Amino acid sequence: MAGRCTIIRTVVEHEVPVLIVGGSLVGLSAALLLRWHGVDSLTVERHTGTAIHPRAGHFHLRTVEILRSVGLEEAVRRKGEQQYHPDGGINHVESLAGKEIANYFPNLNAGVDEFSPTVRLFINQDSLEPILRARATELGAKLRYRTECVALQQDSDGVTAVLADLENGKRSEVRARYVIAADGNRSPVRDRLGIRMRGHGLLSNSITIYFRAGADLGPLLKDRNQGVHYVTNPMLRGFFRLDRSGNAGFLVVNLVGDISRPEIVAAFPSAPWTRVAEGITEQRALELLRAAIGVPGIPVVIENVATWQAIADGAERYQDRRVFLAGDAAHVVPPNGGYGGNTGVQDAHNLAWKLALVLNGAAGPELLTTYDAERRPVGDLTVEQAFTRYVTRVAPYLGAENTQPLIDDISMEIGYRYNSPAVITAGDDDPLYEHPCESRGRPGSRAPHVWLEQHRTRVSTLDLFGRNFVLLAGAKGGAWCAAARGAARDCGVELDAFQVGGAGIADVGGADLKDDADSFPAAYGISETGAVLVRPDGFVTWRSEADMGEPQKILAEVLDTALCRGGRRGVSRLRSG
């Protein structure tokens, strides 16, 4: 932004470690997660409050795991179950009353218990955001509504932002060490930084029709679980999200008209069927809705029609010095697969602990550059996979030529991996994603879920992560635990160390964990003398399959690397992943 914005010098009214521009799903998540790590922030949002449209509804395993880690899983699930069936399905029909074309998820949660202590859920974004906001403010985050960030200027120590109060027009300056731009797919911050978007571009000018029906639509689904229902027929292509009552929800329309015949597609290169939003009237919306329901004359009331653009693009970089792009500002995807909001929450989760440790001096500033190194490849992959789902479920006329093969949902949700200087990987075989049955604690992957017992209570390994570094050692790995504590003390970072399944030693800073099923070593790919180090975001940063000798020296080097402290001494010998 420097060079393109003129800052009118006034007295800096406020200083804050992190300024968050945009207070929707991702901005609120960032505010919450930063406070979770003890970092103050100010979030500015130009609207008067949280989202007013349902938009995101399908929340993936990883996002629910993040919510669980900050104590929100139950509250979110309770709210979601008021709105949607907990095991809703995702399928494809000619119309709600018509023939089934495909059944993508007969039950949203079939088979997930092997991988996670939690399950996927549906909750509308306009119900989730107030829960995030309440938790963020409870933890001490500051939010300012009707406030727009109108300029940013970076220098070597921080960023000066000009904020406009949209109620009275007054301007003020805020000084921040870092800025998170969670300002949505049109991201003014990204534009002013000159960061370009690249990808498949605009796919359609879509609409969402919010409606109430005079009858329960549930029985039309027969034995299909209520949830998301893709519709393809000669009038339209899109999807329903039907709430639990069965007589309300929304219909997204991405394309109109019969484009099943290749000669029609070939005759109109300007793709007029993508211009759904142009000149949309209530009468036209009613026709489309009735065609999607498939029951002529069914009584329905249109409550609202929102227009929006389906786009599949990612930013060419996620960082400009002290400013980080997160959420739709960094990647914008069509809603197929429910990736947009989920990916944004995961961006905030990756960034929050890094900002906390850099701000408190425990980590080197280079740790922040790993945000782009880790999240952008995942964002790019997500853009492609959302595009693949858009093409296969909605717009097959776009063809398979520029489309990645479909990656299974579990691998997309919890199998993405990070390769960056802060992760000590094997170096020669570092795939960007892997099914969790394959990765098994490989450095760069999300640390696997295993049920253990602590103080006679069942805990998931995932319940140990979220705030501090965590060292998990095998049953005979007590030396790793003691060494890890010492190394962490020397670095000034908080670390919890646990011996899993062994007799335990007294001074490892946490009760040891029982593993009666002996599942932990195989799940984490180590022997009983090995250990793994897990970051505060629950990703494995280093693993030693067995005892390597000199545990204190090794762990000091590992932590130096994980914190980008300029160490990296002998990293190659640490690579056993």
Ligand X SMILES: Cc1cc2nc3c(=O)[nH]c(=O)nc-3n(C[C@H](O)[C@H](O)[C@H](O)COP(=O)(O)OP(=O)(O)OC[C@H]3O[C@@H](n4cnc5c(N)ncnc54)[C@H](O)[C@@H]3O)c2cc1C
Structural contact between residues 209 and 365, judged by C-beta atoms closer than 8 angstroms: no
Structural contact between residues 125 and 55, judged by C-beta atoms closer than 8 angstroms: yes
Residues from 100 through 159 that contact ligand X (CB under 6 A): 125, 148-149
Note whether 184 binds ligand X by CB under 6 A. Answer: yes
> Closest Cα to residue 531, out of 510, 552, 517?
552
Structural contact between residues 109 and 26, judged by C-beta atoms closer than 8 angstroms: no
DSSP 273: G
The count of residues interacting with ligand X (CB under 6 A) is 34
Contact mark string toward ligand X, 332..371, x via CB under 6 A: ---x--xxxxx-x---------------------------
Structural contact between residues 442 and 431, judged by C-beta atoms closer than 8 angstroms: no
Strands 12-21 and 41-44: parallel
Shortest spacing between CB 330 and ligand X, in angstroms: 8
CB nearer ligand X, residue 45 or residue 434: 45
Which span (97-105, 177-185, 355-363, 558-566) binds ligand X, by CB under 6 A?
177-185
Which span (21-29, 311-319, 478-486, 549-557) binds ligand X, by CB under 6 A?
21-29
Q: Render the burial of 232-264: b for 16+ CB within 10 Å, e for the rest.
A: bbebbbbbbbbbbbbbbbbbbbbbbeebeeeee
CB nearer ligand X, residue 148 or residue 515: 148
Structural contact between residues 375 and 342, judged by C-beta atoms closer than 8 angstroms: no
CA angle 55, 60, 63 (to 5 degrees): 95
- Cα separation of 64 and 74, whole Å? 10
Residues from 431 through 470 that contact ligand X (CB under 6 A): none
CA angle 333, 34, 169 (to 5 degrees): 75
- Cα separation of 158 and 34, whole Å? 18
Copy the structure tokens of residue 230: 């893709």
Structural contact between residues 402 and 349, judged by C-beta atoms closer than 8 angstroms: no
- Alpha helices, DSSP H only, in 311-365? 340-359
CB nearer ligand X, residue 149 or residue 559: 149
Residue selected from 87, 173, 328, 557 as contacting ligand X according to rule CB under 6 A:
328
Shortest spacing between CB 184 and ligand X, in angstroms: 3
CA angle 406, 254, 245 (to 5 degrees): 90
Taking CA atoms, 325 is separated from 257, 344, 492, in Å, by: 37, 10, 28
CB nearer ligand X, residue 335 or residue 530: 335
CB nearer ligand X, residue 48 or residue 402: 48
Residue selected from 14, 47, 275, 575 as contacting ligand X according to rule CB under 6 A:
47
As separate numbers, helices (DSSP H) first and strands (DSSP E) second, the chain gives 15, 24
Which span (31-39, 49-57, 100-108, 545-553) binds ligand X, by CB under 6 A?
49-57
Note whether 238 binds ligand X by CB under 6 A. Answer: no
- Cα separation of 544 and 531, whole Å? 5
- Which positions are annotated as active-site residues? 230
3-state DSSP of 531-558: EEEECCCCEEEEEECCCCCCHHHHHHHH
Give phi and psi for 54, each to the nearest 5: -60, -40
Note whether 203 binds ligand X by CB under 6 A. Answer: no
> Closest Cα to residue 210, out of 131, 132, 124, 128?
124
Shortest spacing between CB 328 and ligand X, in angstroms: 4
Residues from 268 through 307 that contact ligand X (CB under 6 A): none
Residue selected from 327, 448, 474, 536 as contacting ligand X according to rule CB under 6 A:
327
Residue selected from 16, 18, 20, 26 as contacting ligand X according to rule CB under 6 A:
26
Note whether 208 binds ligand X by CB under 6 A. Answer: yes
CB nearer ligand X, residue 184 or residue 538: 184
CB nearer ligand X, residue 27 or residue 249: 27
Note whether 45 binds ligand X by CB under 6 A. Answer: yes
CB nearer ligand X, residue 254 or residue 499: 254
Structural contact between residues 390 and 341, judged by C-beta atoms closer than 8 angstroms: no
Which span (42-50, 271-279, 469-477, 523-531) binds ligand X, by CB under 6 A?
42-50
CB nearer ligand X, residue 57 or residue 89: 57
Note whether 1 binds ligand X by CB under 6 A. Answer: no
Strands 236-242 and 248-256: antiparallel
CB nearer ligand X, residue 25 or residue 574: 25
Residue selected from 42, 182, 276, 356 as contacting ligand X according to rule CB under 6 A:
182
Shortest spacing between CB 329 and ligand X, in angstroms: 6
Residue selected from 35, 37, 46, 229 as contacting ligand X according to rule CB under 6 A:
46
Shortest spacing between CB 58 and ligand X, in angstroms: 4
Shortest spacing between CB 491 and ligand X, in angstroms: 33
Shortest spacing between CB 150 and ligand X, in angstroms: 7
CA max distance for the chain: 77
Note whether 58 binds ligand X by CB under 6 A. Answer: yes
448: left (phi over 0), alpha (psi -120 to 50) or beta: beta
- Cα separation of 291 and 308, whole Å? 21
Which span (25-33, 368-376, 406-414, 537-545) binds ligand X, by CB under 6 A?
25-33
Shortest spacing between CB 135 and ligand X, in angstroms: 16
Contacting positions for ligand X (CB under 6 A): 21-22, 24-27, 44-47, 55-58, 125, 148-149, 182-185, 188, 208, 252, 308, 327-328, 335, 338-342, 344
